[in-house]
Structure 1
């Protein structure tokens, strides 16, 4: 009995220490924002304009994933800081809808004024269905500039069937509540995206679009509201939107004009000259509605992100919505030879920064240092920022997650009081900067101690899914939605799964989440799954998340390229080239589960990373040693 007690006491002490740490973290978290006064003011405005329910989302007028501070209305009215959610404020209640990625975060950040709808759980309806059960005669208010037209049409049909009316107050009611405290727009100047990175000049892109427009529709106007498409078409970049090198603007292309609607304060003299050289006419940002109302053209094409306000201004009868067949979206998605070369260089340099960071972190953990999630993330960001082509922003908010925090796929690493990295559970880092020659998105999961058998098994199954997709060959015409199952199959063998897409498109110094392609049922958010084409860049990121315990994800970015096969039967055939150059940890691998082919792929990939990165870390002995000894 004495021996048993002596073994159990350290384990008990360890559990007590972990519980104490967890309690400390919980007590240190900021308390939810008190939204009582804000909701009261909003309801007064709702009554004044005859609205019974008011819908608030996360989007800006361009359907952007990330909104500028002045457009972050949902965080202001709710206190929730995640990227995907929606609120419906009624006169007597307030409802909040979000999916499984944010159930835990929403529970912590919402105050008692809100009813949380955990979409995805049994019996919980998405907001688009829930809203149809409001009382007959209800007037539902929305800002038409923030509502995608495609969604507006669906809502109008479903609500009318229930005798519920959509209403569009002239002013945004949340902005009225926000008042003078609402942040001012970010006015960082626009700049030209050099041809050495863009690969094709903007004049050529415009000519191609005009030729397509004339061939398909004759004398028509093509309206671009998606900010990454505006930036791509004109070969310009900005910094008005967090994590995205873009700026608020619209472009309208016709047979004889390219009109840019933008805040003139964003335009420097060199950019004005550059745009004038291509024949681009400049207009005030807010004049877009007037142009659409006044144009005599009978056909106006808009992209899928166009707002209901845009379509109403143009007149629904003459508007055609471009879906997955949008020539701008597809051309942007298929990287040209220069963009592909730039992405390869960017991921190689970023791999060197990661190696320096990982070597530092491994050494610090061996010494017994207490490194927090935030400290780890900031050190990696510092090393990346030293790159001469660093564009001054991260591609997304880094996910630096230890222990049970890694089980939250979209965990937000706290600025203060973040968790200390431990030696009992995996540590996950999902991060990437914006370089002028490429957008980075990388995830690796590591362990600083002795993994449990379950941790190793789960990690190995995720790795096998990652390898299976990296090795996939498929005929032209195959969609990412069809390939999603390739990565899941190894996990399914043991009853593992993950509740997110296997991957998304990645931009060329643009949006880290780029449509219309992707490895998911929605294929990058497109209404119809899009066939993969040569030059498309996508992430490969299967995972597994044991809520309350640990999370695992392995993510690399790949390019679609032409494959050479034995028969070429009904070709062409396609495959993937992995761009990411960050070694995959083997400490968590259960080698007994790997097939010879999988083991060979892992050895070859890590050897390739080692061979290509060693010359780039010359002078950093710690990083060189890490590359030689860690894999």
Structure 2
């Protein structure tokens, strides 16, 4: 197998594991006993509700050894339970000690387990900064039904028991130039202030670090894969902002950029400032904030307005400058991506490489652009049966070779200062079977439908989701993840409030919103197939003979589909035309950036079907 580059961003070490629980649960139980608690709720989420957590806040992993992105635990003095969803059924049993923990499904609900398993008079602690108001309301009801008592702790017991806890991150902060943002932060603050006035709100607490970063045209480096500074903010109806973060991160250059209407304070100042909001109407997003935020405001005598983060929609509607930057980032990213696809079709066909080698190869090629800031998420590099896990994370214990007769699925993305990419391609190693070709073509047909659909104003992603599934449904197949998620611009690769999924969503798709288009098919124990491009919503335009202007999508990802996996007999004439037109565009826009064997390979890959 190939040599792993030690400079690579992504790591492939085996982390977590049963020993962490064996070592740490006794320490946690001793801490609980000191505090007079019989148990503690441990969510995966931290105080900032980010997708990626700094090592400092990996409390669930510390307590259990579980490293997945969705889960929770309840640790009592004499028993414990681990909750995960269906994505992590195998992983949780490999990483968590079954002698310490029982296993339960997250889909069945933490509240149900508490109602059925807590004993009368037990005292269960929770950290109100880590749970949403909705989650705590359900938990309070369940605990009460069990005859137990729920207590909010002032400091997290895990933090007391975690003797070698890493320091909080102090990542560098940078300015996102107005030329890339499309608006100054003064313009953005004025826009949000106007929305507060229209909502009859005096202020809003912005708890999502991505919203804080967008609002103030700042980027940070406190967590991996997303350029965030860990922070909260308070904005009033005049556009004045208090930024709560580690002041040591804010250089004189950043302070000059922020100007006189933005105050920089330590995070410890937020509780006291919230107490000054007596009699004020304050917006707090129940989906991104914690129970602590809402309760602290009520205790201060403020009126809590549980509304969507006022930054969320403006952030989702990309400016013209952000869309131009996004297209530039995708053209840049297409070069290493196509070089990688050429490598997969040539050298990697030998069977001498594994999933880690492939992930390292792709990241190395992206580094060679000289402009890579970070990955936008940890690369999903899945060969054969591992590709059937949609959220698979390769490590040294699980990596499989890219063997002849298999499919290889790679879902990856990059952070550039002008845009965020996310793309999935599926490639055969050796000759594909007819079943592989049929499944791939069904996925491609759903992808084409989502790329070409036209729809009226007011349409939501959940209105469109079935279109991507229709070809699969007619053959008796489906996939258990959403079809599309929002994407930021040099921000989170998973961004709301828009999405395309079966789950009902009331947020209409609007011009400038970026979404992924990623239907898939997963044959357990055999292979996975996913095709993903990013696309943005276009302005309404008339259709010849129609009487209403329609929105649509413009694709920004540029990389060929794999011809050997396309069963052209299954495609309609319009579907063949779409593939040919898309490939012609890839060749036209990216071909001149390539040379030698890679350029020749791309020309062959993009020939008309």
Aligned match of 1:249: 231
Distance 1:59 1:472, change over 3 A: same
Equivalent residue in structure 1 for 2:103, among 116, 129, 135: 116
With the length of structure 1 as denominator, give the TM-score of the two structures.
Answer: 0.89
Query: Deviations along 1:326-375, whole A, 9 cap, x unmatched?
Result: 43100000101111111111111111110112212322134x25111111
The 2-side partners of 1:34 and 1:214 are apart by 50
Equivalent residue in structure 2 for 1:152, among 119, 122, 136: 136
Aligned match of 1:10: none
Number of aligned positions between the proteins: 587
* 1:621 paired to 2:596: yes
Distance 1:216 1:35, change over 3 A: closer
The 2-side partners of 1:491 and 1:146 are apart by 39
Query: Deviations along 1:74-94, whole A, 9 cap, x unmatched?
Result: 111111111111111122222
Aligned match of 1:226: 208
**Deviation for aligned residue 1:215:** 2.8
Distance 1:31 1:515, change over 3 A: closer
Tell me if structure 1 keeps the 8 A contact 2:344–2:427: no
Aligned match of 1:7: none
Aligned match of 1:20: none
Tell me if structure 2 keeps the 8 A contact 1:356–1:622: no
Equivalent residue in structure 2 for 1:379, among 348, 361, 371: 361
Query: Deviations along 1:511-530, whole A, 9 cap, x unmatched?
Result: 1110111011446xxxx521
Distance 1:162 1:566, change over 3 A: farther
Distance 1:201 1:415, change over 3 A: farther
Aligned match of 1:19: none
**Deviation for aligned residue 1:98:** 1.1
**Deviation for aligned residue 1:236:** 0.3
Equivalent residue in structure 1 for 2:197, among 214, 227, 234: 214
Tell me if structure 2 keeps the 8 A contact 1:522–1:529: no
Aligned match of 2:6: none
**Deviation for aligned residue 1:322:** 4.4
**Matching of residues 368-517 of structure 1 within 5 Å:** 368=350, 370-391=352-373, 393-415=374-396, 418-517=399-498
Aligned match of 2:5: none
Aligned match of 1:4: none
Distance 1:118 1:302, change over 3 A: closer
Report SS of the residue matched to 2:312: helix
Query: Deviations along 1:222-269, whole A, 9 cap, x unmatched?
Result: 110101000000000001011110111111111453111110111111
Equivalent residue in structure 2 for 1:39, among 21, 25, 29: 25
Bigger shift: 374-383 or 249-258?
249-258
Report SS of the residue matched to 1:426: strand
Tell me if structure 2 keeps the 8 A contact 1:558–1:578: yes
**Deviation for aligned residue 1:319:** 4.1
Tell me if structure 1 keeps the 8 A contact 2:312–2:497: yes
* 1:138 paired to 2:113: no
* 1:600 paired to 2:577: yes
**Deviation for aligned residue 1:484:** 0.9
The 2-side partners of 1:292 and 1:165 are apart by 27
Aligned match of 1:104: 90
The 1-side partners of 2:332 and 2:560 are apart by 13
Tell me if structure 2 keeps the 8 A contact 1:360–1:622: no
**Deviation for aligned residue 1:119:** 4.5
Aligned match of 2:179: 196
The 2-side partners of 1:185 and 1:321 are apart by 31
Distance 1:244 1:555, change over 3 A: same
The 2-side partners of 1:500 and 1:239 are apart by 29
Report SS of the residue matched to 1:45: helix
Tell me if structure 1 keeps the 8 A contact 2:424–2:531: yes
Aligned match of 1:310: 293
Bigger shift: 86-95 or 296-305?
296-305
Tell me if structure 2 keeps the 8 A contact 1:545–1:551: yes
Equivalent residue in structure 2 for 1:348, among 323, 331, 348: 331
* 1:94 paired to 2:94: no
The 2-side partners of 1:164 and 1:233 are apart by 43
Report SS of the residue matched to 1:397: coil
Tell me if structure 1 keeps the 8 A contact 2:379–2:413: yes
What are structure 1's unaligned runs of at least 5 residues? 1-27
Tell me if structure 1 keeps the 8 A contact 2:351–2:404: no
Tell me if structure 1 keeps the 8 A contact 2:461–2:501: yes
Report SS of the residue matched to 2:552: strand
The 2-side partners of 1:118 and 1:446 are apart by 33
Bigger shift: 287-296 or 577-586?
287-296
The 1-side partners of 2:281 and 2:381 are apart by 48
**Deviation for aligned residue 1:161:** 4.3
Tell me if structure 1 keeps the 8 A contact 2:351–2:401: no
Equivalent residue in structure 2 for 1:580, among 557, 560, 571: 557
The 2-side partners of 1:352 and 1:416 are apart by 31
Tell me if structure 2 keeps the 8 A contact 1:461–1:491: yes
Aligned match of 2:509: 532
* 1:238 paired to 2:220: yes
Tell me if structure 2 keeps the 8 A contact 1:132–1:164: no
Tell me if structure 2 keeps the 8 A contact 1:521–1:529: no
Distance 1:31 1:46, change over 3 A: closer
With the length of structure 2 as denominator, give the TM-score of the two structures.
Answer: 0.92
Aligned match of 2:3: none
Report SS of the residue matched to 1:574: coil
Query: Deviations along 1:377-436, whole A, 9 cap, x unmatched?
Result: 111111112334322x11111101101000111111114662111121110000001011
* 1:294 paired to 2:276: yes
Aligned match of 2:544: 566
The 2-side partners of 1:297 and 1:572 are apart by 46
Distance 1:128 1:568, change over 3 A: farther
Query: Deviations along 1:60-83, whole A, 9 cap, x unmatched?
Result: 112111111101111111111111
Tell me if structure 1 keeps the 8 A contact 2:241–2:261: yes
Aligned match of 1:548: 525
Query: Deviations along 1:16-53, whole A, 9 cap, x unmatched?
Result: xxxxxxxxxxxx99964352231122122223323333
**Matching of residues 35-74 of structure 1 within 5 Å:** 35-74=21-60
What are structure 2's unaligned runs of at least 5 residues? 1-13
The 1-side partners of 2:462 and 2:262 are apart by 38
Report SS of the residue matched to 2:161: helix
Tell me if structure 1 keeps the 8 A contact 2:410–2:425: yes
Aligned match of 1:270: 253
